[in-house]
Structure 1
Amino acid sequence: MSRIVIVGGGAAGIELSTLLNKTTTKEDSIILVEPETHHFWKPRLHEIAAGTFDSDLDTVCYFTHGARHGYQHYQASMTDINRDNKTISVCGAADGVNYQLDYDYLIIAIGAVSNDFNTPGAQDHCIFLDSANQARQAWHRMSFILRAGDTRTVNIVGAGATGVELAAELERVSRKLQRYNGTPLTINLIEAADRVLPNSPEKMSRKVQQQLEKNNINVLLQTRISEVTDKGMITSDDRTLDADVQFWAAGIKAPDWLNGIGGLAYNRINQIEVNMNLTTTVDDCIFALGDCAAIPQPDGSFVPPKAQAANRAAEHLAKSLGGFLKGKPLTDFIFKDGGMVVAVGHYFAVGSFAPGSKMESKFVLHGLLIRRVYDTIFRLHQKTISGMFTVSRLMLSKRLKAIFKPNI
């Protein structure tokens, strides 16, 4: 009998908790440590911030889901690891009580947060979208702004997937609400690189930027922020970008509190260093996956911080660890990138489906159909954790709900 403790209920954590129940024995126990009560798919946090997310149909309650899928949810946060005693220290999210939790195998899947690169004022004056709670706070702020009436300005730092999708969604909401005398928004999307989506194929970047500019979003490239104030942002060349609301969606790193815990090895952005089989480099009983882990690949590269990588790592570890508990060796995780899809509004998306190939330009597609592919990726995540019947029921309910109730 083994006790498996999973820390973090994001895309990797909840999928792993669900799938391990199918690959382990009834004698093994699975515990998920996560401070939130409900699971939100992180690539859709921008919809919460814009007020278009359907929390009734697109969230999962850990308590009831765990009861149906064979794991127990502890609503708490990990604060320390004692590798000698095989315990973790956790703090209850509701009562703040600290206690110890035993494990035979510990799996860390806490994801990553935005990296402000120690920019002065960023933490004090910017909204981050690293958790559902932050996204809800963002919507409270935006809800007030969108009712104000006069034109307001929004600054968004970082033109990666999160920044692009947030800018497009806020623009759509502002435009739709103007029929009710809502607030027109001026949106500045600020990027230090020379193109949006700097880690994607160039053709994809061009198509996304064209769509953003078509939607009257100001794309400011090769613009670095040196300071953030309560009134706006100051660039490295001393320009001032005034704003009423400011978001920071640039860069990634594992949370600062993780670095140093348990005497594990960490890289410069706080990620846990692991082997290709996802065990940490200093302890074979501790695993890490998702954005908080630096997972090496045979060619010397590392697995990129993508939701699809976290999902596939969870599927892999569920099979690998399940087999290991039955006497088989652990297997290496080799990631094959399937591309990326970025939503630019509710009816348009751009996708790259052959990254790194010499013919990549032929596989950059865009339009309403690709937007439906974007939605399908989320439905596949739901299918993994809840099953096809539940997903079909949710899709039907959502269609019916859209007929009778606006989605904003």
Structure 2
Amino acid sequence: MSRIVVVGGGAAGLELSTLLAKSVRKNDEVLLIEPEIDHYWKPRLHEIAAGTFDSDLDSVCYFTHGATHGYQHYQAAMTNIDRQQKVVNVRKADGTEDTVSYDYLVIAIGAVSNDFNTHGAQAHCMFLDSASQAREAWNQISHVLRAGNDSTINIVGAGATGVELAAELARVSKKLKRYNAACLHINLIEAADRVLPNSPQKMSEKVQEKLTRSDVNVLLNTRIKEVTHDGMQTSDGQFLAANTQFWAAGVKAPDWLNGIGGLAYNRMNQIIVNQDLSSTIDPAIFAIGDCASIPQADGSTVPPRAQAANQAAIHLAKSLSRHLDEQALTPFTFKDGGMVVAVGHHFAVGSFGIAPFAQNERCEGKLVLQGRMIRRIYDTIFRLHQSTVSGVFTVSRLMIAKRLKAVFKPTGI
């Protein structure tokens, strides 16, 4: 009998726990350590912050889900690892300390935004690294909308999170004007020379065009030097006044992770692992998702994306299950399926696969498409995540319930 402990209930951790519970031997135990009560898919946290996420139908209760799918949820947060004793030190919800023994440990705690030590960012900006932060953001924005006075929002970082948040807030502001809500003036601030700097240039152009049509003020080549309670000071001396401020730039693993258990870490606090996802220091400890630095055969590392976390979870579930039967672990190879970014609730832009006819400087070998149909693909990616976690039948019921809810209880936005 072996106990597999998974730390972190994000997309990677929850999918891995679910798949392992189905594939391991009958007497093996799967335990998920996660301080939150409910799971929310991180790429949709911007919808929680904008008040457009359906928490009733699109979240997962760890306790009931674990009981249904064969793993146990332990509500606690990891604080340390004792590799000699093979125990994880945790802090429970009531503040008390405890230890959890393991035979195999998988760390999947995800990543947080990187403020690059910008003065005032932590004190005066909101972050979207967790559902609780997103709910807090909506509480503040909801108050601003109800107050009726026009307000300015600064969002630092024009990666996927910043773009999606800006577009969703712009849509909410426009829709709620019918109820005399405040008008939100949104500044999207990016240090690079284009939005989505890690995507094909053609995709960046289409996204920026849509943002501009949505009245989002996009500020490129703009670095933030300092954040104050009422705005942001740029490196070129400009002051961007705002009532509400978000930081959505950069990605790193949490600072508290670095050094735990004496594992090897990189400068982004990520655990350095082998290609088979085992840590380079301890073969009984694995890491997947955004908190892991995963090498590839070509010398690159796996990018911090939701699809990479999903692929790693599926791979490790199979590989580790076979390893329990004394088979060798297999190397993980990331397959880039492209990128889809929502620009408002009914519109998305995506880059897909290799398009030989489009191999030019702007498309970079990717087929770039936009529109409502691409937004359907974006939603389908989320449904695939739900299918992995809860099964196709459950997802079908959720989709029917969502349609009925939209008919009988319209949200107005």
For Structure 1 versus Structure 2, the TM-score category normalised by the shorter chain is over 0.9
* 1:96-135 residue CA offsets vs partner (Å, 9 max, x unmatched): 1101110000000000000000000000000000000000
Give the whole-Å Cα distance in 2 for the aligned partners of 1:356 and 1:73. 44
Q: Distance in 1 between matches of 2:187 and 2:236?
A: 17
Question: Residue 119 of structure 2 aligns with which residue?
Answer: 120
Matched ranges for 1:51-200 at <5 A: 51-93=51-93, 95-200=94-199
Describe the shift of the 1:198–1:355 C-alpha distance in structure 2 as closer, same or farther (beyond 3 A): farther
Q: Which residue of 2 aligns with 1:233?
A: 232
Sort the Cα spacing of 1:356 and 1:200 in 2 relative to 1 into closer, same or farther, 3 A: farther
By how many angstroms is 1:359 displaced? 3.3
1:348: which partner in 2? 347
Question: Which deviations, in whole Å up to 9, do the C-alpha atoms of 1:249-269 show, x marking residues without a partner?
Answer: 000000000000000000001
Aligned to 1:288: 287
Structure 1 residues 255, 67: CA separation in 2 closer, same or farther (over 3 Å shift)? Answer: same
CA–CA separation in structure 1 for the residues paired with 2:26 and 2:329: 20
Following TM superposition, by how much is the alpha carbon of 1:358 offset from its aligned partner in structure 2, in angstroms? 7.8
Q: How much has 1:21 moved relative to structure 2?
A: 1.4
The answer for the alignment partner of 2:368 in structure 1 is 364
Aligned residues: 407
1:267 touches 1:273 (CA, 8 Å); kept in 2? Answer: yes
1:2 is aligned to: 2
In the alignment, residue 370 of structure 1 is paired with which amino acid? Answer: I
Amino acid paired to 1:144: H
**SS of aligned partner of 1:194:** coil
Kept after mapping to 2: 8 A contact 1:339/1:355: no
Partner of 1:262: 261
CA contact (8 A) 2:271 2:293 kept: yes
Q: Tell me, in whole angstroms, the C-alpha distance in 2 between the residues paired with 1:215 and 1:61.
A: 35
Judge conservation of contact 1:337–1:355 (CA < 8 Å) in 2.
no
Question: Secondary structure of 2:232's match?
Answer: strand
Q: Does 1:23 align with 2:23?
A: yes
Query: Take 2:278 and 2:393, find their aligned partners in 1: how far apart are those partners?
Result: 34
Match of 2:408 in 1: 404
Cα displacement string for residues 37-84 of structure 1 (whole angstroms, at most 9, x for unaligned residues): 000000000000000000000000000000011100000000000000
Instruction: Return the alpha-carbon distance in structure 2 between the equivalents of residues 295 and 359 of structure 1.
Output: 30
Report the TM-score when normalising by structure 1: 0.98
Identical counterparts, % of pairs: 70
Asked if 1:304 is matched to 2:308, the reply is no
Residue 355 (structure 1) shift: 6.1
- 1:222 equivalent in structure 2: 221
CA displacement 1:166-200 (0-9 Å, x = unmatched): 00000000100000001111000000000000000
Q: Distance in 1 between matches of 2:116 and 2:356?
A: 32
- Residue 82 of structure 2 aligns with an amino acid whose one-letter code is N
Question: Partners of 2:197 and 2:354 in 1: how far apart?
Answer: 13
Q: Which amino acid aligns with 1:374?
A: Y
Contact 1:171 1:187 in 2 (8 A): yes
In the alignment, does 2:381 pair up with 1:382? no
How far apart, in 2, do the equivalents of 1:256 and 1:359 lie? 41
Shift of 1:347: 1.4
**TM-score, normalised with respect to structure 2:** 0.97
In 2, the alpha carbon distance for the partners of 1:189 and 1:99 equals 43
Contact 2:355 2:367 in 1 (8 A): no
Residue 272 (structure 1) aligned with residue 271 (structure 2) = yes
Letter in 1 for 2:374: I
In 2: Cα distance, 1:402 partner to 1:375 partner: 16
Q: Secondary structure at the match of 1:36?
A: coil
Name which of structure 1's ranges 346-355 and 12-21 shifts more when overlaid on structure 2. 346-355
Can you give the 5+ residue segments of structure 2 that lack an aligned partner in the other structure?
Answer: none
SS in 2 for 1:9: coil
Answer whether contact 1:340 1:352 (CA < 8 A) is retained: yes
Counterpart residue type for residue 373 of structure 1 = I
Question: Is the Cα contact below 8 Å between 1:78 and 1:89 reproduced in 2?
Answer: yes
Deviations 1:228-270 (A, max 9, x none): 0001000000100000000000000000000000000000010
* Distance (Å, rounded) in 2 between the aligned partners of 1:271 and 1:129: 19
SS class of match (1:182): coil
- How far apart are the structure 1 equivalents of 2:275 and 2:191? 32
SS at match of 2:161: helix
The runs of 5 or more residues in structure 1 that have no matched partner are: none
Amino acid at match of 2:246: F
For the aligned residue pairs, the C-alpha RMSD in angstroms reads 1.0
| 1:50/1:173 contact within 8 Å kept | yes
1:172 & 1:23 partners in 2: Cα distance? 43
Q: In 2, Cα distance between the equivalents of 1:192 and 1:179?
A: 35
Conserved? CA contact 2:90–2:100, under 8 Å: yes
